[in-house]
């Protein structure tokens, strides 16, 4: 069963994604959500995030932060990681993703999209045909509008878990995430 609301992969954390494998598979650019995907909502880049972007650059990836948040928040995070940025991206509309790919010099076929929300981050990319990775949100304390979207995500995650596309061998760690939902 394929569905534009289904991510290509579910991973328990951004920091557990096998980026080396994805590079070998031909991906060259990564569009990242920031809040609750890389750091808790509103936080600056921490040691772990700084190390991740150093590692990604070393592998050879182009990276772009794509956020619906305003310029100061995105620049505050980017100060220590130094990658491409798109602020006020209006996700899930495709414009922000296109702008990000343009900055990275990549296209839909070789760009990954990483985020913690199906409706805000991922489905626009899935709709465009991009490879999408849904991660578990870093901070469980969320604003009410996000909590409501989480409730809407549940039946989709249930369907995904019971669909054939979930039987990928590298998703062992993700049973943790699904069991905790």
Told to check if 153 binds Mg ion by CB under 5 A, we report: no
Locate all alpha helices (DSSP H) within 25-131, ordered by sequence.
47-59, 71-78, 94-104, 123-128
Min separation Cβ 88 and Mg ion, Å: 15
Nearer to Mg ion, 29 or 92 (CB): 92
Told to check if 33 binds Mg ion by CB under 5 A, we report: yes
Could you give the CA distance from residue 69 to residue 126 in angstroms, rounded to a whole number?
21
Window of 26-34, 62-70, 90-98, 169-177 that interacts with Mg ion by CB under 5 A: 26-34
Min separation Cβ 108 and Mg ion, Å: 21
DSSP 105: T
Could you give the CA distance from residue 24 to residue 37 in angstroms, rounded to a whole number?
23
* Residue from 36, 67, 68, 106 in contact with Mg ion (CB under 5 A): 36
Told to check if 116 binds Mg ion by CB under 5 A, we report: yes
| 138 burial level (CB within 10 Å; 0-12, 13-18, 19+) | middle
* Residue from 14, 17, 32, 35 in contact with Mg ion (CB under 5 A): 35
CB atoms within 10 A of CB 9: 21
Locus of tokens 């590692």: 55
Q: How many chain residues are in contact with Mg ion, going by CB under 5 A?
A: 5
Min separation Cβ 117 and Mg ion, Å: 5
DSSP 35: B
Min separation Cβ 121 and Mg ion, Å: 6
- Pairing type for strands 9-11 and 131-135 reads parallel
Q: Which of residues 37-66 bind Mg ion (CB under 5 A)?
A: 37
Told to check if 68 binds Mg ion by CB under 5 A, we report: no
The contact set with Mg ion (CB under 5 A) reads: 33, 35-37, 116
């Amino acid at each position: 069963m394929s569905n534009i609301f289904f991510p290509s992969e579910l991973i328990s954390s951004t920091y557990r994604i096998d980026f080396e494998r994805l590079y070998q598979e031909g991906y060259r650019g990564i569009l990242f959500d920031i809040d609750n995907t890389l750091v808790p909502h509103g936080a600056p880049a921490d040691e772990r995030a700084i190390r991740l972007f150093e590692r990604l650059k070393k592998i050879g990836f182009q990276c772009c932060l794509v956020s619906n948040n305003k310029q100061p928040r995105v620049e505050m995070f980017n100060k220590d990681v130094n990658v491409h940025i798109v602020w006020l991206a209006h996700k899930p509309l495709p414009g922000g993703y296109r702008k990000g790919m343009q900055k990275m010099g990549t296209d839909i076929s070789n760009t990954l999209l990483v985020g913690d929300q199906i409706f805000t981050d991922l489905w626009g990319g899935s709709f465009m045909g991009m490879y999408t990775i849904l991660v578990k949100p870093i901070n469980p304390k969320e604003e009410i509008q996000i909590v409501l979207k989480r409730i809407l995500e549940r039946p989709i995650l249930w369907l995904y878990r019971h669909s054939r596309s979930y039987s990928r061998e590298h998703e062992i760690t993700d049973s943790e995430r699904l069991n905790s939902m």
